Structure 1
């Protein structure tokens, strides 16, 4: 499936970026885990776990430099890559892979070499990785789904979430169309925010605004969240961690903890677990970190 993307050297770059898949295992604390800075210093982990998804490496909208800043500031014992890390849909149409995207891959692989346990749960945009279940790539484990046990004993089901999206599963053509329209919105957004930056105004997301204003989109998001919470309850879990819809959220749904770690295209957010098991959504852009402003390609 990778053969249609790009020349051999580029395909190898993607292979080096991919981790292995193993289905539904308990992921418990790793020993001797730590992540150091790029200069070789080894620092004790500040966080027990970090969950990130929807990076969309291979697209102009990916905020790779911001993600690098986040990863350097948040070393952890285990790092979950909760799907759509590499955007295979976009790479099929056009190859786009700047150095900053390669830097993200290298940062993740470096963390794995230094003792951080890295678990990759593929999503719909990097579904090609589901062919590599049970393999390891540079110390990264690829798993179909995972069960994470927090420091305070809660069991969280970790899944990208696309398998509970009816459009992706039963109307793939519509999902591709929606993806193209989303990319168009992001291009318009980059122009708009370049103008806003010149005026000293903060970053503003056009697509997030549309999602929150369009009634059908709000209804879809609610159904998606409830479906995942229902499935987590059926599996006997205390909660679920997912991505897919690019909407960071942490809330209780009928006694089940629903956590969405957001994305690294617009919200620039992640879910983190502290040493005592406390969960928190970190909004990196809100902490004053720079957001990349590119001209539309």
Structure 2
């Protein structure tokens, strides 16, 4: 999720569409998310929904508007400091998705297995008062082939941005939050990946001056709690 853009699977959430194809899967938490998004749209916030590969069935509605939410395959965003960014999900540049779709389904099944394991691991870590830890993130950084794939993917996406005459690209898809700069044919292109909200707990935001930042929610929560502790201590000392 970036600004007011919803990037596939409700911000790279994790395969809701594919799971719905196998069986009905719609927990109450999904209703809460949809309700909050539509509430913002009705209050005047521009919301653009860009379906990803897991919810590709919604791509047939590209160009339409539902409850104030625009459905697009891609969008262009002008930052406060004058940069023009192309915003898209990113599966269009995934060779596995394009050539070996069956392998993508296998990867999706393995990902959901790791999500389940990750849930129980972090439940134990919470009881031990330990911070949140991402199992899939650790695996991606440890497996050589995964690291090479991510690197090539980032380069291909950034090159596509340069070829389209924009300053950079914002995407998701591979669930790996990252910011990198690439140069292709003398043109510099900025690459932003917003990661995912469900397992990586990442979000990409733009500040009022155009500065962009990848947020990791557990770290944000820890910082807020620390500021509250410092404020409480200051009040206690003043009293």
**For the superposition of Structure 1 and Structure 2, which TM-score range results when normalised by the shorter chain?**
0.7 to 0.9
TM-score by length of 1: 0.70
Contact between 1:267 and 1:285, CA under 8 Å: does it hold in 2?
no
Aligned equivalents of 2:98, 2:107: Cα separation in 1 = 14
Aligned equivalents of 2:215, 2:118: Cα separation in 1 = 22
What's 1:12 paired with?
none
What's 2:212 paired with?
279
Taking the TM superposition and a 5 Å limit, the aligned residue runs for 1:1-297 are 51=2, 79-85=4-10, 87-254=16-183, 255-288=188-221
Contact between 1:83 and 1:123, CA under 8 Å: does it hold in 2?
yes
What is the DSSP-based 3-state SS (H/G/I as helix, E as strand, rest coil) of the residue aligned with 1:204? coil
Q: CA deviation at 1:94?
A: 2.9
C-alpha RMSD of matched pairs (Å) = 1.3
What is the DSSP-based 3-state SS (H/G/I as helix, E as strand, rest coil) of the residue aligned with 1:126? helix
Report how many aligned residue pairs link the two structures: 214
The structure with more helix, counted as a fraction of residues: 2
Q: Which moved more, 1:91-100 or 1:241-250?
A: 91-100
Aligned equivalents of 1:277, 1:196: Cα separation in 2 = 37
Contact between 1:251 and 1:257, CA under 8 Å: does it hold in 2?
yes
What is the DSSP-based 3-state SS (H/G/I as helix, E as strand, rest coil) of the residue aligned with 1:134? coil
Q: Identify unmatched segments of 5+ residues in structure 2.
A: 223-239
Aligned equivalents of 1:94, 1:206: Cα separation in 2 = 26
TM-score by length of 2: 0.86
What is the DSSP-based 3-state SS (H/G/I as helix, E as strand, rest coil) of the residue aligned with 1:97? coil
What is the DSSP-based 3-state SS (H/G/I as helix, E as strand, rest coil) of the residue aligned with 1:267? coil
In our comparison, the structure showing a higher alpha carbon Rg is 2
Aligned equivalents of 1:238, 1:80: Cα separation in 2 = 18
What's 2:226 paired with?
none
Q: CA deviation at 1:181?
A: 0.7
Aligned equivalents of 1:198, 1:94: Cα separation in 2 = 33
Contact between 2:8 and 2:49, CA under 8 Å: does it hold in 1?
yes
